[in-house]
Homo-oligomer: A and B are copies of this chain.
Amino acid sequence: MRGPSRHRGATLDDVARRAEVSAMTVSNALNHPDRLSDETLARVRAAIEDLDYRPNRSARTLRSQTSRLVGVRVERSRQDRAALLLDQFLHALAESASGLGYHLIVCHAAGDTAELAAYQELRQTTAVDAFVLTGAHRDDARRRWMREQGVTFACFGRSWDLDPDSPGAFPWVDVDGAAGIRAAVEHLAGQGHTEIGLVGWPADSDLGRDRERGWREACADLGLPARVQAHVVDEFDAGRDAAHRLLDAPRGGPVPSALVCVSDTLALGVLRALSERGLRPGHDVAVTGFDNSPSAALTTPGLTSVDQPLADVAAALMRLVDAELSGVRPSATHALLPPRLVVRDSSLAR
């Protein structure tokens, strides 16, 4: 029933014996099926099936120096920030990886130096083929290291400081933050809001500047002022404080009736501030977030938020990695995916 089962499953030789070919032919059936005649291929495949044969990754890696393992760092989540979506992203990445015959190997690291050390260790000990990075910074030390080492990688987060066609360009996938914020602004304008404020990140954040641009451009297109704004770090309390400041309308400035936030964390902080001021979200001040984190759906009132297509991001990243590892010239080395606004009560008057 189970064939000539050795203790740990069938080997290539077992399959070869059964199919009455050499081990090499079985290997070719797996890796270069085009090299075999149809008849032989069918016989080998039947034998593989019969014996429930799976190639041993260690042996393969040892010989071919390629592991079909992709490294990914998992960061510690912070209680003062909405979920990092790691849950969804990692699942999606694992799914896409497995669809292409890869597995994910996880590493953790406390800081930036430790991150590189962890990657290096994974390269040296485990022959990891590639890495998926999240959150590209400008002038990212990680991508410099990857390039130096000649390691394949792809990044969730675009290259802000490099032209996509420049020699330093690297594969990335990102979500169009400006478009997401624009959708939020348009939705709010459709609700009749005319003074739409922004709660953004500090100016040194490329991601934040991109999202801010969406706000500014959408307001301009709609003929609305884009003047009420705050720029704070991505923390709950910072969002809360910012809302208080903006709603206090310093120096008799305009009072926003809607606040667009560049993250759910900030938006949730804004909702807290509204509560503290006795204002009703949606009714008195409309609020939108970004990320569509689990909290957005579960808080009360529900938080309107920009949903990132994480499954698509993950799939695109794995395709890029696979293309590079396969030596295929991919049709594009980067992708900017459109987000989708999920409307909930925090931005509706009733």
Chain A residues at the B interface, C-beta cutoff of 8 Å: 8-9, 54-59, 61-62, 65, 67, 69, 74-77, 79-84, 86-88, 90-91, 94-95, 98, 103-108, 118, 121-122, 124-127, 236, 264-265, 268-269, 271-272, 275, 293-295, 297-301
Q: Known interface pairs A57-B126, A58-B61. Does A94 touch B107 (Cβ–Cβ under 8 Å)?
A: yes
Quick one: closest B residue to A69, CB to CB?
B105
In the complex, chain B residues whose CB is within 8 Å of the CB of A105: 69, 103-106
A236 to B126, CA, bound (A): 42
A8:B107 contact, CB within 8 angstroms: no
Q: How far is the CB of A299 from chain B (nearest CB, A)?
A: 4
In the complex, chain B residues whose CB is within 8 Å of the CB of A86: 86-87, 90
Quick one: closest B residue to A273, CB to CB?
B300
Q: Known interface pairs A87-B83, A88-B76. Does A299 touch B298 (Cβ–Cβ under 8 Å)?
A: yes
A125:B295 contact, CB within 8 angstroms: no
A339 to B136, CA, bound (A): 36
A88 to B86, CA, bound (A): 10
**Residue among B58, B59, B236 making CB contact with A67, cutoff 8 Å:** B58
B65:A8 contact, CB within 8 angstroms: yes
Can you spell out 17 A-B residue pairs with CB atoms less than 8 angstroms apart?
A: A8-B65, A9-B124, A57-B126, A57-B127, A58-B62, A62-B62, A74-B94, A75-B91, A81-B294, A83-B87, A83-B295, A86-B87, A90-B106, A94-B106, A95-B108, A294-B295, A299-B299
